[in-house]
Chain A
Amino acid sequence: AQTQVRLDSFFKTM
């Protein structure tokens, strides 16, 4: 099975 990664871990809030 696969898990969908979220973008929050790549793009940080400014």
Chain B
Amino acid sequence: MFEARLASTLTLKRIVDALREILNQSTLDCSDTGIQMQAMDNSHVSLVSLCLRKEYFEKYKCNRNISLGLDLKSLTKVLKCANGDDAVTIKAADKADKVELSFESAGKERTADYELRLLNLDQEHLAIPETEYNCVVHMPATEFARICRDMATFSESVVIACSKEGIKFSASGEMGAANIKLSETTKGEVSIQVDEPVALSFAGRYLSTFTRATPLAEKVKIGLAPDVPLLVEYPIEDYGYIRYYLAPKVDD
């Protein structure tokens, strides 16, 4: 038996919004410690990993590990039926072929229950190696979203170069070139830790997809190391995260 209750549907809506542009379907792995999910996009260039610890939920019960194969489009449709400030309870019986979502209005005067058919997804699990990133940058999530949007105007590829002087995003194409550089701020909105400078090239459209998670977090963490996938991490309060990994582009 699995049961998890969140005080607000809004965060769940935001989490699904952050996933659904990369994935159509995905399996939530629920255990007594919380919920995890990881999947690559169809082209195997990016990976998204979600972790929500049980402390994130108002109520959490999971007697036995259970995997819930979900169609994210269908889940979005159900979430559209709810108000952001409704409480939501997700329930599934052991070996169930459906999941139940119940919404309760803030004043408790309205309840609505929906059933979603579960999918039997054959999903492979990947081992994500622990990586020591040579450069770790924290910046406001809205700033990162803005930079990705502005870079997309100029080119498909974005070069991210990080050194002690700052982090620089560059794009150049037929129209011209764009360079945006952020330095560390004394107030701590932007922090930059660098062991060794790194410069890597990435497909901008994936970066833009990651910024779908912007409403979830104030700050985004970016991890860079030579010849390994970029890490873009959005914390979910103190109880979890959405991490995106993106493989670099290399010169022929």
Contacts and interface: CB of A to CB of B under 8 A. Distances in A.
Interface stretch (B4-12, B42-50, B182-190): B42-50
B248 A5 contact: yes
Given A4-B45, A7-B47, A14 B126 contact: yes
Interface residues of A, number: 14
Interface string B33-57: 0000000100111110000000000
Interface residues of B, number: 24
A1 B250 CA distance: 8
B127 A12 contact: yes
A10 B250 contact: no
A1 to B, nearest CB: 5
Contact of B125 (A5, A6, A7, A14): A14
Secondary structure type dominating chain A contacts: mixed
B252 interface: yes
B129 A11 contact: yes
Interface of B: 40, 43-47, 124-129, 157, 201, 203, 228-229, 245, 247-252
25 contacts: A1-B251, A2-B157, A2-B201, A3-B251, A5-B45, A5-B247, A5-B248, A5-B249, A5-B250, A6-B247, A7-B46, A7-B126, A7-B245, A7-B247, A8-B44, A10-B229, A10-B245, A10-B247, A11-B126, A11-B129, A11-B229, A12-B126, A12-B127, A13-B126, A14-B126
